[in-house]
Structure 1
Amino acid sequence: MQCLIQGNISGSIEQSDEGLSDPFVSSLVSALPSNYRLELQKTLKSIRRNKATHVALQFPEGLLLFACTIADILQRLTGVLVSILADVAYGACCVDDFTARALSADFLVHYGHSCLVPIDVTAGVRTLYVFVDIQIDVGHFVDTLQTNFEHGKRLSLLGTVQFLSALQVAVKHLSDRFHVSAPQQLPLSPGEVLGCTSPFLGKAADTDAIIFLGDGRFHLESVMISNPDVPAYRYDPFMKTLFRESYEHEAMLAARTAAVHQAAKATRWGLIQGTLGRQGSPNVFKYLEEQLEAKGLDFVTVLMSEIFPQKLALFPDIEVWVQVACPRLSIDWGSAFEKPLLTPYEAAVALEVVSWQTPYPMDFYSIRPLGPWAPRHPQHQPQQTKHSRDTRGCSARSEIPLTPQTDSSPSSTQPCSLIPSCSKGSSSSAL
């Protein structure tokens, strides 16, 4: 089967009147992966349209090897100063407009993540998001699912932003054989998953399988945590292999509940505001301060860009830490810290603001989170009148309405379904 994604995909073919056909520039472009949509033409137009004089580029670690080449292309064709932000960008929450402004940059290009932070709130720096769509062999993906799943199965197809265009194409080709959907957790796009934010799919009986399109487990684990009873599969588009994935739910829940119980007995707390890009939420931080004050508990506040056990060990008097940065830091690596390291949600449980939720909520950036320990809770956004993000600075991507939005609460029972090819994970096994 041949399934084609429409539109320019490669950096090498984005050559029109923006100067990309210059022989030397063409040689630079040819060094970039041809199946990565780096949107050089759009970036050049945006730099010129905004009359930028200093452009900052921000990449996730996996794209940093292309940073110098892209910077050379942009600088040669626009004449502006181009700086590369080398601090790690773990996700969409790490867009670093503050550092860009500190460098006197007036334009920021953030690669590899979606517009989680709207461009109208970036700190005086015009921001362009380049999703970096990756062209894959969608036909093999579709054939793999048709081979491994029975006709009529209900499949929920999810993935990271790089593969959403491919995901949409696959949905169209699979819909005549399966009940296929791309569940949506607003403000994310249909099918999009973050490491801390993923849709709750309802009762396990509503979905036969989760099909995740991506080359790693981190984002898939978010879906598995919030949907522990639904079988999960991951198709690796580079290995062209389908994996049956698993997650050690009991071990994770035991570790997290133990940390919460220990925290409930603590009298000396530490409250960490993450400063890596936009990870930290001032509103959530203030909410937690208010809850600690209401309980009459002593606490100290600390600002940290990255949170390591060695750093926190320098505060021996602190009995429990709460970090407003990345929930997965506590979930995945909490056991590496000497003292309990809680997420804002877990802190709310320890402070008896809310009872323990089942399944574990993965709704940190949802517009409908369970409580005000999440940044987009209505309590923190009294002026908000629309649910969608301002995406004027985002890379353009055609999207089809695959499924209605899903509520993050366990009471929601929106069914979901989408794609297959196989291997297994907290272990992975190839099918």
Structure 2
Amino acid sequence: MISLTKIEKSAKDEEVIEVIDDQNDPYEVEKCARWIRTNALKQVCLQFPDNLLPNSVEVALRLEKEVGQKIYILGDTTCGSCCVDEITAQHIDADGIIHFGHACLNPTGRLPIFHVLPRNQLDTTEFADEFKRIFSDCTKKIVFFYDVAYAHKIEYIYNILKPIYKHLILSKLNCTSNVEYTDIKTSPATIVLGKNYTLENGYKIQDYEGFFLGEKEKTLALLAMSIPVKKWYYSTNCKITEFEALNTSWLKRRRFLIEKLRDAKVVGIVVATLGIQEYLTAINTIKRILKQKNKKSYLLSVGKINPAKLANFTEIDAFVVIACPENEVFDSRDFFKPILTVYEVELAFNSAREFSPQYFMDFRQILPGGSHYINFKPSMDSDVSLITSNVRNCENDTLCTDQMNALTVRSSGTVAIGKAGAQYLQERSWKGVEQRLGEDPVQPAETGRIGLAWEYTNETLKTDNHNAQIE
């Protein structure tokens, strides 16, 4: 349901009507039901972020009443709330998913998806006045981006600004959603972080300035690092501020972790997405690069990543995570080993990739067919580690072979066993529970400890307390 309010005049005295969503139904049950009927879906799953799960049953029951069929709720997501969880939905052979809340809009390849985007409030009149004040030059070329939570306000805002700014480009969202105006209607050639834009003929993106309607959060930083406009601006509480993404402490730390990756001998490839298109290509690309650099790699899938899970793999020197660009693991300092992206693997080992002010958190941009793909060319020169001061020249060494019982002679003349993981186990003093058949004398079975773990009956303190109570 919608209501029409507030009529204003644009620069050409045309009527601009603001469409205000009816907040009585933030879950858009009627639109969800229409989408299900239009696509003739029979097994539909609802995916909610954790903060909306308490309302999931009510929404599912209302939707069941509308469409007259069973609706399923995804109780927990495999990797993250912003990504569509196609793997869990396939447990009931689903043929469609309705995703609620904030979304990263990464493309998926298995099921049709309908997004019910959140709706943040915004004083559009105050925002438009602030925009005109900051961008007083109406001839400026501006690319307008926005958080998905403001998509429901974009049509009205764009209709106000477009007659004033002749070179204003509005981005579109890579999804089918409850806000049809912002959806991409055709299949674009390139998509950057779930958003698409088309520039005017004869101009490059470097000729434009970027604006983001939303808070100074992860989405803004990712866009600013990926799209090389002249300047970036963002809006918070209708106040517009300039944003600098490339000169940050976060980026300096990433360069340090790249150096740690160059020193690593064993690398773990952690799969933190099973739905984003081309994630299998990313896995194979990393494995091929690491093999050419004579580094041993292990493929891991642990669901939602946390420090405790990855701490179990102590033999691994660094982890490369294939995940949604908005995954928070790349910002965390709680992990014991470096956490890196696919792009950082290329920065570390691809000598053909020259320094660029851009930083690509979306791994699809640098894969074959991506907008920033470069053929891999391994470096053949020795270099010095900036961390250990050791000379690195992995090209002349063979770290491992494919046979567990094989030995390999390194260039220094030392002998190493076949597998890097087995090598680590051999060198570790404690190896866990081991079978010692024939090494220990046979002992008869005995009665073990009795009681709770915090106070067994045969412990001295327990015995003394028991005797004191008897006396």
Interval containing the TM-score (normalised by the shorter chain): 0.5 to 0.7
Match of 2:264 among 242, 266, 285: 266
Which structure 1 residue ranges, 5 or more long, are not aligned?
12-29, 380-431
Q: CA deviation at 1:338?
A: 2.0
TM-score after normalising by structure 1: 0.65
Find the partner of 1:10 among 5, 22, 30: 22
Change (3 A) 1:197 1:53: closer
> Could you say what secondary structure the match of 1:182 adopts?
strand
SS at match of 2:125: helix
Structure scoring higher RCO (CA < 8 A, sep ≥ 6) equals 1
Give the corresponding residue for 1:414. Answer: none
Superposed counterparts of 1:10-409, under 5 Å: 10=22, 30=24, 32-33=25-26, 38-48=27-37, 52-61=41-50, 63-64=52-53, 66-88=55-77, 90=80, 94-112=83-101, 113=103, 116-118=106-108, 121-122=109-110, 127-131=113-117, 136-152=122-138, 153-164=140-151, 166-178=153-165, 180-182=167-169, 184=171, 206-207=207-208, 209-215=209-215, 217-226=217-226, 230-236=230-236, 239-247=237-245, 249-275=247-273, 277-278=275-276, 281-329=279-327, 332-333=330-331, 335-352=333-350, 354-355=352-353, 357-362=355-360, 364=362, 369-372=365-368
Q: Is the 8 A contact 1:287 1:372 kept in 2?
A: no
Paired with 2:114 and 2:196, the residues of 1 have a C-alpha distance of: 24
Deviation, structure 1 residue 244:
4.7
Larger Rg: 2
The percent identity for this pair of structures is 23
Q: What is the CA-CA distance between 1:296 and the residue it aligns to?
A: 2.5
Classify 1:377/1:65 alpha carbon distance in 2 versus 1 (closer, same or farther; 3 Å). Answer: farther
Q: Which amino acid aligns with 2:125?
A: G
Counterpart residue number, 2:469: none
Q: Alignment length, in residue pairs?
A: 345
Given that 2:141 and 2:207 are in contact with CA atoms closer than 8 Å, whether structure 1 keeps it comes out as: yes
2:468 counterpart residue number: none
In structure 2, relative to structure 1, the CA distance for the partners of 1:199 and 1:320 (3 Å cut) is farther
Q: Secondary structure at the match of 1:322?
A: strand
Task: Report the TM-score when normalising by structure 2.
Answer: 0.61
- Relative to structure 1, the CA distance from residue 69 to residue 180 in structure 2 (aligned partners, 3 Å threshold; closer, same or farther) is farther
What letter is aligned with 2:145? Answer: L
1:128 Cα shift? Answer: 3.1
Question: Which residue is equivalent to 1:428?
Answer: none
Kindly provide the amino acid, as one letter, of the partner of residue 206 in structure 1. Answer: D
The alpha carbon displacement at 1:319 in A equals: 0.8
The Cα of 1:322 is off from its aligned counterpart by 0.6
Distance 1:350 1:147, change over 3 A: closer
Partner of 2:396: none
Question: Does the 8 A contact of 2:279 with 2:322 survive in 1?
Answer: yes
Contact 1:234 1:244 in 2 (8 A): yes
